[in-house]
Amino acid sequence: MVQRLVTPMGISPKSWFAVALVVLAAGGNAGSAAPPAIEGRVWRLTRVAGLDGEVLAALREAPNMRLEQGRLQAFGGCNRLAGGYSVDGERLTVAALAGTMMACDDAAMKVEAAFTKALSGTLSFTVAGESLTLAPDSKSEPVLVFAVAPPPQLEGIDWKVTGFNNGRSAVVSPLLDTVLSLRFEDGKLTGNAGCNRFSGTYTRDGSRLSIASPVATTRMQCGDEVMQQEREFLAAVQAAVTWAIDVGMLDMHRADGERALTASRAADQ
């Protein structure tokens, strides 16, 4: 039997650690008046003390983090991370981070290990324009240096779907041995629905999206489970009306607020 992972509505399979995030965040000082300059931005890592800069520059996607209301979300170079934090003046205290447990190549794992080791405990921070530095104390050299990440980009990227709404109050992962994908570009939507390729049109206004219905597909026939998945997936795609990208992950929602699908960049990008 083909198996899939089923998660409660609103939690994608790739973001299982969100539960840990809520627990850890409860220990952070979410009510403190943290400077807006450090919160609400996606910070992309540009330097780690003691790590060869060429190793960091060679990664397909640089580590990054976002701090907001006592919750820290990050990408370490291989895994997604989450934890709580608090701010006191110009001092940032980071709680222990929970994360996924993927294995990547040696370079990515080396960067992630250095990043997570440095991003712990109490650190002094300095924000200067679009640059953030973190150091063990105000007089030492920074251990982490970040720059503000560029605005999120939906179009021109091959997105590999990690979860989709099956229409029965659950977000599910794709069936084993199937690939679901999306690409938005110049008003045209294309992708793979697991058995057939599909195409359609869309319009976008900021974070709002309208996908024309129905989309066209090729006419291949696959097994019953794969064809059922295809119907459910295409329905989820066409129901999506908003999009956001948080730490490299695409998150799309329906008009009723329920999650339509989640996706990550395809491995070759």
Extract the tokens encoding 216.
């066209």
Residue 3 has pLDDT above 60, yes or no: no
pLDDT of residue 137: 75
More confident residue, 267 or 38: 38
Cα Rg of the chain, angstroms? 20
Residue 253 has pLDDT above 70, yes or no: yes
Model confidence at 152, pLDDT cuts 50, 70, 90, reads confident
pLDDT of residue 223: 97
pLDDT of residue 143: 92
Q: What DSSP letter does each residue of the chain carry, written as one string?
A: -----EEETT--GGGTTHHHHHHHHHTS-TTS---TTTSSSEEEEEEETTS-HHHHHTSSS--EEEEETTEEEEE-SSSEEEEEEEEETTEEEEPPPEE------HHHHHHHHHHHHHS-EEEEEEEETTEEEEESSTTSPPSEEEEEPPPP--TT-EEEEEEEE-SSSEEEPPPTT--EEEEEETTEEEEEESSSEEEEEEEEETTEEEE-SSPEE------HHHHHHHHHHHHHHHHEEEEEEETTEEEEEETTS-EEEEEEE-TT-
Contact in structure between 166 and 16 (CB atoms under 8 Å): no
Q: What is the pLDDT of residues 61-107, one digit of tens each?
A: 889 999 998 999 999 998 889 999 999 999 999 998 998 888 889 99
Any residues with CB less than 8 A from the CB of 63 and at least 6 apart, and which?
Answer: 44, 45, 56, 74, 75, 76, 77, 111, 112, 115
Give domain 7-148's CATH number out of 3.90.550.10, 3.60.21.10, 3.40.250.10, 2.40.128.270.
2.40.128.270
Q: What is the mean pLDDT of residues 106-135?
A: 93
Domain with CATH 2.40.128.270 in the chain: 7-148, 152-265
Residue 210 has pLDDT above 90, yes or no: yes
Q: Determine which of 7-21, 162-176, 248-262 has the lowest per-residue pLDDT on average.
A: 7-21
pLDDT of residue 103: 85
Model confidence at 17, pLDDT cuts 50, 70, 90, reads very low
Give domain 152-265's CATH number out of 2.40.50.140, 2.40.128.270, 3.40.190.170, 2.30.30.140.
2.40.128.270
Q: Is 97 left (phi over 0), alpha (psi -120 to 50) or beta?
A: beta
Q: Rounded mean pLDDT of the chain? A: 86
